[in-house]
Amino acid sequence: MKESNKQLGRGTIYIYIESVAAMIFGYIFWIILSRIGTIEIIGTFSAIVSLAGIFSVIASFGIPEGNQRFLGKFFYQQKLSDAKIFVKSSLVLVCAGIILCTLLILILSDWIYTVFTFDFRLIVALIMLIASYTIFLLFHSIVISSLRTKILPTTMVASWIVRIVLASLMISVGVGVVGVAIAYTFGYIISCLILGIAIIMILKYANHSRSEASLSSATKDVSVSSLASWIPDLIMTIGIQLGTVVVFGTYGSNEAGLYFISLIIVTGISSVVHSIFTIALPALSSMIDGRKKFAWHTIRLSTIISLPFTSSLIFYSKDILQLIGQDYIEGSLSLQILLLSMLPTAVQSGIGSLVYSYGHYRKFLVIGLGASIPRVALYFLLVPIYGSTGASLAYTIGAIIGFAVSIVIAKRIGMLIFWKDLLLIFFIPMTLALVLSYLHVNYILAIIATIIGSNVLFFKLQILTSADIKYSLEILPERISSRISMLLTRYSRK
């Protein structure tokens, strides 16, 4: 059991590294793109990416999540022939979903042109992006189920390098937004090729054992399992991506570009936080006792990691957006409002992971609906009045309502929320960042000072303990974790 837990830890740490790499290289991509392209290109491309995100979840049918329940067990038990059957059935279902979505988009092409002014070239680029991203999601989930995730960070870095190089070339030769969309799609194609080879290598010994499952039964099992996660995922994705689409349809590409860049910054940080809960979910699901305590522990650590950084960005939003380009500085208010959603989103995600680990799918759905329904309704209400700022308000208000719903559900299942710790985690970095901003400290120094100062105070106030850090270090190689643990022990004695 101990060895399997170590394997789980070694596997899941690469998911976290992948998320951090995606955030860093994603920011580099958008900074370069904004420097060499126009805000119109960014705005139009943002609408394509947002629509592709929504349609990809529709096309996937929830298969990337639903198949993990079976594949995880088969890989753990070394039943590779059964795993191969389920991989095939998942691929068949996803390809069917891609074909259906393609037909739907072609049927709606006149409406898409009327609302978004997407010509046929952009519609083809949209379909290519949907197909590549959907298959990437499937292959990514299969690799995660195998716990052989060491390839994920390398794959992510390679895909972003391809995007950066190709997008730069496309814009330099004057291809415009179609070229950027093709470059972005090629990033996913590269990822699919690398992950596809990795999956083939994982399953290469599958023919040496007899499968107990048939393709038809596997398809049925995966379909039923996937429905439980498909609707919540679709609701969540619509809640996040629809804002850009509504802004683009109402105000055009310039305003959509302002909002989308701010959203990219926030969702990049959120993806790192979400990876922590992705890492925690298998552990939560395998526990008999202590799930609620572990869920709170995960929420606390995720907010300790994210809030010092996001607090700095709130007070230095103009400096951050200036890195992307002068045209984006006026989107600083949108960025500030979006960053305020980080705390409620982290708490909501932690409670959602706990509820999902218990198998309470209806409660999990209620949490998702609590955030997404108000968010979607407010997009249509606030965006026509306030533009990108209205979209940011809708996003953050939705997060706060989802937070309130998750707190009610946490109370019903008997989970304790330590409000004193949570409030200190919120106000300490906010206060430090406010003071540094008032003193006109350089934004780079202020961000570093806020992160270090906040964590020192967390440590002094016992919000963050050496035991927390030692627990987190268990998934690292022993030589690294033992040296850090020795340093922490010496520091705690002083």
Q: Is the pLDDT of residue 463 over 90?
A: no
Across the range 201-226, mean pLDDT stands at 70
Residue matched to tokens 């393609």: 102
pTM flag (> 0.75): yes
Closest CA to 295 of 412, 405, 396, 418: 418
Please, are residues 458 and 429 in contact by the beta-carbon 8 Å criterion?
Answer: no
pLDDT computed for residue 485 by the predictor = 60
**pLDDT bucket at 281, cuts 50 / 70 / 90:** low
pLDDT computed for residue 45 by the predictor = 87
| % residues pLDDT > 70 (the chain) | 84
The DSSP line for 312-335 is HHHHTHHHHHHHH-GGGGGGHHHH
Task: Show me where the domains of the chain are located.
Answer: 1-251
Q: For the segment 100-137, what is each residue's pLDDT rounded down to a tens digit?
A: 999 999 998 888 888 788 888 889 999 999 999 999 99
pLDDT computed for residue 99 by the predictor = 95
- For the ranges 91-100, 390-399, 425-434, 472-481, the lowest mean pLDDT is seen at 472-481
Query: Between residues 71 and 243, which one has the greater pLDDT?
Result: 243
Q: Is the pLDDT of residue 278 over 70?
A: no
Q: For the segment 413-423, what is each residue's pLDDT rounded down to a tens digit?
A: 888 888 898 99
Residue matched to tokens 């209620």: 366
Q: For the segment 464-483, what is each residue's pLDDT rounded down to a tens digit?
A: 776 666 655 555 555 555 66
Please, are residues 293 and 314 in contact by the beta-carbon 8 Å criterion?
Answer: no
The whole-chain average pLDDT of the chain stands at: 82
Q: For the segment 308-332, what is each residue's pLDDT rounded down to a tens digit?
A: 999 999 999 888 888 887 778 888 8
Closest CA to 255 of 8, 31, 46, 487: 46
Please, are residues 364 and 357 in contact by the beta-carbon 8 Å criterion?
Answer: no
Distance (Å, rounded) from C-alpha 373 to C-alpha 486? 49
